[in-house]
Chains A and B, each alone.
Chain A
Amino acid sequence: MAKNVYIAQTNCITPLGFDVDTNIAAISSGKTGISHVNDDKLMPQSFYGAVIDDKALDKAFVKISSGQNYTRLEKMMLLALYPVFKSSGILPDEKTALLVSTTKGNVTSLNDDTGDKPRLDNLAKTIADFFGFVTEPIVVSNACVSGIMAVSVAKRLLQAGMYDHTFVVGGDEVSEFILSGFNSFQAMSDEPCKPYSANRTGVNLGEAAAAALVTINEKNAIAKITGDGSVNDANHISGPSRTGEGLVRSIQSALSEANITSNKIDYISAHGTATPFNDEMEAIAFNRLDLQDVPVNSFKGYYGHTLGASGLLEMVIGLESMRRGELYTSAGYDAPGVSQPINVITENQKKDIAVFLKTASGFGGCNTAVLFEKTGNGRR
């Protein structure tokens, strides 16, 4: 029998707030973190995105450290992990790992003469040193599935007995680097994004950090991680599969491991970037698995696409939905815009969620699906 693995403490740093409760309060009142941004350092023309206020970030950061040499992203990630780490009471020994998920890390340092700063192993070491981890940090950099893949990897390492606890922290920033790239793809929406809507016009980019404790200890657990899979589409490096093959197989892999059928799933937090091809691919995949009636939302309408943080952030919010028994509106959704029916959540509602599915998909044809089952105590 494989060991049981749980998710316990979580946290997030987003434009909507610097803890989970503040984020949930914002989401449940329909507030979005996406705004009209005018910042020549980021992009010559204005854009819609979800950015964190520098002053608020610095003000929060001085409460946990007097260190002067941390980058903006490092501050976000340290702030995300700090309360998770402190409240866990876990000592960072040989059986405790740090998993970092990011796509671009400190890419904003690329233009300065900062030596190793843009390197992802350097970012991970900075975080590890701050908390005093003694094991070598593990960085997952697997495009837009990185955040949720990190949770899957953590669970696997714990099941194999390599560690007893893994702290997972994910983060990515809105930068000129990624804005110019997504803009060159003509993938950016010139209004707040509308996942799954007939009126969608593309993605908004956002920034966030999120953190969670993955542990073999059931005490304080919100949920048990019961299955996971990360299967490639083998189709195209930047376009989603037309058949949803990799996503279908990822979910099947998770279901088979959890030993449940798809009709047990109560709620899906999907990827929902609001690009025509991504949303369509997901709708096809969910229909192939008979998941078209399961309530589904995308949190991109609140946070934009936060890249390497997104899967982890959306898991944190999704788990909170499960814990509170509340489903939140998929922001931006108005009219059905995918060729096959899916049950997009259009108003906040109460619902018992025993099984929660988180999915993500990304460039390189990657997909990840992770299943969570509510634990008895369901406390945070």
Chain B
Amino acid sequence: MAEDKYISGYCLIENNRVALNSQTVFEAPGLPFVDFAKQAYQHAETGYAKFFKMDNLSKLAFLAADMLLKKEVKEGEENNIALLFANKSSSLDTDVKHQESITDRENYFPSPAVFVYTLPNICMGEISIRHKLYTENSFFIFAQFNAGFFANYTDILMDTGKAEKVLCGWVEYYKDNYKAFMYLVSDSGTIAHTQQNIQKLYTGQ
């Protein structure tokens, strides 16, 4: 590749714990995700009321992205940070909720506020709005975490000049099983941007 690339920061959210660069930032064992997410949001002192209307997948992705971007993105400054996200379950968790709202014809209550989240890329829209990222966005679905694809597609985005940095995210949420693994790739840092390192960080090693 033309220039060296590094993983300049990474965030894991799973098992009611938020970790930034392997350090626990927040923990709230035993809570359902919605309550855990609310507390994690309050702890991060984000101050962004739209958070509360998001679906669970967007909340999860938003929290992880905020950990990595709040220091990276300065108010009023343009940043060419692409979003490259993927998961296994797409928006299925919210799909089920919308489906339940239309299954019973006697008790039929589809809501636009739910329906809009029945697309997995909406979480990238939320993050783009929050951090004013007019940048490349793409959402993929794989049967399992695909470190090779993330590594290759990130190289493409940066080598072709489509992005200066790439925020990569595996954001999986289905029926209270969740995991967010997000990392920022840039031209400086200490962890080399390799498929092996990405896989290692994903597994929390």
Give A residues with C-beta under 8 Å from B.
2, 44, 103-105, 107, 110-111, 118-121, 124-125, 136, 138-143, 149, 153, 156-157, 159-160, 162, 176-177, 180-185, 229-238, 245-246, 249, 253, 257, 363-366
Across the interface, do A141 and B122 meet the contact criterion of CB distance under 8 Å? no
* Residue B90 at the chain A interface, CB threshold 8 Å: yes
B120-147 interface code vs A (CB 8 A; 1 in, 0 out): 1110111011011111111111110010
Chain B positions 134-170 with a Cβ under 8 Å from a chain A Cβ: 134-143, 146, 149, 152-153, 155-156, 159-160, 162
Across the interface, do B110 and A119 meet the contact criterion of CB distance under 8 Å? no
Across the interface, do A121 and B138 meet the contact criterion of CB distance under 8 Å? no
Across the interface, do A184 and B111 meet the contact criterion of CB distance under 8 Å? yes
Across the interface, do A232 and B128 meet the contact criterion of CB distance under 8 Å? yes
* Residue B34 at the chain A interface, CB threshold 8 Å: no
Across the interface, do B155 and A160 meet the contact criterion of CB distance under 8 Å? yes
Across the interface, do A363 and B116 meet the contact criterion of CB distance under 8 Å? yes
Partner of A237, one of B92, B98, B116: B116
Across the interface, do B152 and A162 meet the contact criterion of CB distance under 8 Å? yes
Q: List 18 A-B contacts (CB under 8 A).
A: A110-B99, A138-B140, A140-B140, A142-B137, A157-B156, A177-B98, A177-B102, A180-B98, A180-B108, A231-B134, A233-B128, A235-B129, A237-B122, A245-B134, A363-B121, A364-B122, A365-B128, A366-B124
Across the interface, do B142 and A139 meet the contact criterion of CB distance under 8 Å? yes
Across the interface, do A2 and B160 meet the contact criterion of CB distance under 8 Å? yes
CB-CB nearest 6 A-B residue pairs: A364-B125, A181-B115, A139-B141, A232-B128, A234-B128, A184-B110
Across the interface, do A365 and B138 meet the contact criterion of CB distance under 8 Å? no
Identity of the chain B residue whose Cβ is nearest the Cβ of A138 in the assembled complex: B140
Partner of A238, one of B116, B128, B138: B116
Across the interface, do A234 and B134 meet the contact criterion of CB distance under 8 Å? yes
Across the interface, do B125 and A120 meet the contact criterion of CB distance under 8 Å? no
Give B residues with C-beta under 8 Å from A.
83, 88-90, 92, 95-96, 98-99, 101-103, 105, 108, 110-112, 115-116, 118-122, 124-126, 128-129, 131-143, 146, 149, 152-153, 155-156, 159-160, 162
Across the interface, do A118 and B119 meet the contact criterion of CB distance under 8 Å? no
Across the interface, do B133 and A232 meet the contact criterion of CB distance under 8 Å? yes
Across the interface, do B90 and A119 meet the contact criterion of CB distance under 8 Å? yes
Distance in Å: Cβ of A137 to nearest Cβ of chain B:
9
Across the interface, do A365 and B92 meet the contact criterion of CB distance under 8 Å? no
Instruction: For B142, list chain A residues within 8 Å (CB).
Output: 121, 136, 138-139
Q: How far is the CA of A139 from the CA of B87 in the complex (A)?
A: 10
Instruction: For B153, list chain A residues within 8 Å (CB).
Output: 153, 156-157
Identity of the chain A residue whose Cβ is nearest the Cβ of B157 in the assembled complex: A156
Distance in Å: Cβ of A78 to nearest Cβ of chain B:
19
Instruction: For A125, list chain B residues within 8 Å (CB).
Output: 143
Identity of the chain B residue whose Cβ is nearest the Cβ of A100 in the assembled complex: B141
Across the interface, do A141 and B120 meet the contact criterion of CB distance under 8 Å? yes
Across the interface, do B129 and A118 meet the contact criterion of CB distance under 8 Å? no
Across the interface, do A107 and B132 meet the contact criterion of CB distance under 8 Å? no
Instruction: For A142, list chain B residues within 8 Å (CB).
Output: 121, 137-139
Identity of the chain B residue whose Cβ is nearest the Cβ of A110 in the assembled complex: B99
Given A110-B96, A157-B156, A230-B137, 18 more contacts at CB 8 Å? A104-B118, A105-B90, A110-B99, A119-B88, A121-B142, A138-B149, A140-B141, A141-B90, A141-B121, A153-B153, A160-B159, A176-B102, A184-B111, A185-B112, A185-B116, A232-B136, A245-B134, A364-B124
Interface centre among A153, A182, A249, A365 (most CB of B within 10 A): A365
Distance in Å: Cβ of A123 to nearest Cβ of chain B:
9
A111 with B92, Cβ < 8 A, contacts A232-B125, A237-B122 known: no
